[in-house]
């Protein structure tokens, strides 16, 4: 543990490389967050409302509120001697990649934008087209560039939300119909997955062009060294069979891994049936999951010591499940150190959280 970020980077590089380390990593979130604001000088250059954009260095009202919110998140990192890093998360919504294939993005209030399918059935397959840049992709790159320009020294920006190829396909093509079409018309689904994968690689490289030190881990926002992979959210892992995922998920994830030096997979839900397929990924850097949603024993038996496991939990509510997790590692003699625990404040104090982490040997006493 160190507030020296260069030392933290070195430790995490060893962790992701599955080299010998003497402890697991951990990050505390939401325990010391404070509002962030700054004076808003007049904008320079054109007005976004009129189609222009501020000149370099100016305050852009389209992005400033989100910049301040992300600064409040990142600003708590120096409060703890953990393995967190001050990131400005460039998340806007989950449909950026899907929009390039024609999925409408609907904003009907202040909540999360809705992503509608471009096609609803296999009979509409002919409506699909090659990926096209659009307002969503353009503004995403402008927002990311804004964060990169205004971030304090030492801070990093995360990549835009990156759904994995199968997740994007399930947004572009009606979810249920796409799953069925993979069995009845597999060549059509693979046509789409092939182009989604190409676009994901291309769009990530465009993000790197505007922010060369971009952190290619969008969720859960932990440091992934350059050249050691890209993160992808693959929630379909929890709902499809191993045979389905091996045919329609694994090959395209492996292409992402080849392009960026590894892959880090996030999945919600219980993906026990696909633990074997996860092991088949090339250069699988890590797997992130919500601890309360998974079957602890099978997950640890399959993956502990094979890749870095990144459980996320809140305290105090997640204490029972965390104790079960560590107890299983003990009982089976499994790797204790190649884990990255993310602990959210669910209503306890920092002292209470740290006491539990020390008791469980996640944090050195």
Q: What is the pLDDT of residues 100-131, one digit of tens each?
A: 999 999 998 878 999 999 999 999 999 999 99
* 42 against 355, higher pLDDT: 355
Containing structural domain, residue 140: 5-359
Whether the upstream peptide bond of residue 80 has omega within 30° of 0, thus cis, is no
- Residue 285 falls within a domain, yes or no? yes
pLDDT > 90? residue 199: yes
- 3-state SS record for 301-354: HHHECCEEEEEEEEECCCHHHHHHHHHHHHHHCCCCCCEEEEEEECCCCHHHHH
The Cα-based distances of 126 to 47, 83, 131, 170 in angstroms read 39, 48, 14, 17
Strand partners, 308: 286
Instruction: For residue 364, tell me if it sits in a domain.
Output: no
Q: How far is CA 103 from CA 61, 133, 184, 185, in A?
A: 26, 12, 23, 21
Give Cα 29 to chain centroid, integer Å: 15
- List, in sequence order, every residue forming a beta bridge with 265; answer none if it has no partner: 232, 287
Contacts with 10 (C-beta within 8 Å, 6 or more apart), sequence order: none
User: For the chain, what is the domain count?
Assistant: 1
298-335 pLDDT tens trace: 999 999 999 999 999 999 999 999 999 999 999 999 99
Give the pLDDT score at 110: 78
In a domain, 113, yes or no: yes
Question: At residue 227, does pLDDT exceed 70?
Answer: yes
Give the largest CA-CA distance in the chain: 64
**Residue 177 — very low, low, confident or very high, per pLDDT cuts 50/70/90?**
very high
pLDDT score, position 57: 59
Residue whose entry in the numeric block shows the structure tokens 């992934």 = 224
Residue 220 is predicted with a pLDDT of 93
- Render pLDDT for 13-54 as a digit per residue (tens, 0 to 9): 999 999 999 999 999 999 998 899 887 555 544 333 334 444
Give the CA dihedral 276, 277, 282, 285, nearest 10 degrees: -70
Using the structure block, give the residue that is written with the tokens 């880090």.
264
Q: Is 365 part of any domain?
A: no
Q: Is residue 237, in this structure, part of any structural domain at all?
A: yes
**CATH code of the domain containing 211:** 3.20.20.210
Q: Is residue 138 part of a domain?
A: yes
Residue 51 pLDDT: 40
Residue 271 lies in a domain: yes
């Amino acid at each position: 543990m160190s507030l020296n970020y260069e030392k933290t980077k070195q430790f995490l590089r060893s962790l992701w490389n599955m080299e010998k380390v003497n402890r697991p990593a951990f990050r505390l979130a939401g325990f010391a967050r404070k509002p962030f604001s700054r004076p808003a000088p007049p904008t320079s250059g054109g007005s976004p409302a009129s189609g222009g954009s501020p000149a370099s260095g100016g305050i852009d009202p389209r992005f400033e509120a989100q910049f301040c919110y992300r600064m409040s998140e990142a600003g708590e990192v120096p409060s703890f001697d953990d393995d967190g890093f001050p990131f400005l998360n460039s998340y806007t919504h989950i449909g950026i990649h899907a929009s390039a294939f024609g999925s409408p993005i609907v904003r009907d209030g202040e909540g999360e934008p809705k992503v509608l399918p471009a096609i609803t059935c296999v009979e509409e397959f002919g409506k699909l087209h090659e990926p096209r840049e659009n307002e969503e992709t353009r503004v995403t790159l402008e927002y990311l560039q804004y964060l990169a320009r205004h971030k304090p020294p030492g801070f990093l920006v995360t990549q835009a939300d990156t759904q994995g190829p199968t997740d994007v396909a399930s947004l572009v093509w009606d979810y249920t119909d796409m799953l069925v079409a993979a069995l009845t018309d597999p060549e059509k689904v693979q046509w789409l997955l092939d182009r989604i994968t190409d676009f994901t690689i291309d769009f990530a490289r465009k993000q790197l062009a505007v922010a060369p030190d971009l952190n290619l881990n969008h969720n859960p926002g932990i440091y992934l060294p350059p050249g050691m992979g890209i993160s992808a959210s693959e929630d379909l892992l929890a709902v499809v069979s191993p045979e389905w995922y091996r045919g329609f998920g694994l090959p395209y994830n492996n292409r992402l891994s080849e392009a960026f030096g590894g892959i880090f997979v996030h999945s919600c839900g219980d993906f026990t049936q696909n633990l074997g397929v996860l092991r088949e990924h090339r250069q699988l850097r890590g797997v992130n999951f919500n601890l309360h949603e998974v079957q602890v024993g099978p997950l640890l038996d399959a993956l502990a010591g094979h890749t870095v496991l990144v459980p996320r939990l809140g305290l105090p509510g997640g204490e029972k499940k965390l104790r079960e997790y560590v107890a299983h590692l003990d009982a089976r003699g499994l790797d204790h150190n190649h884990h990255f625990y993310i602990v959210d404040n669910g209503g306890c104090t920092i002292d209470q959280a740290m006491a539990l982490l020390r008791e469980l040997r996640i944090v050195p006493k």
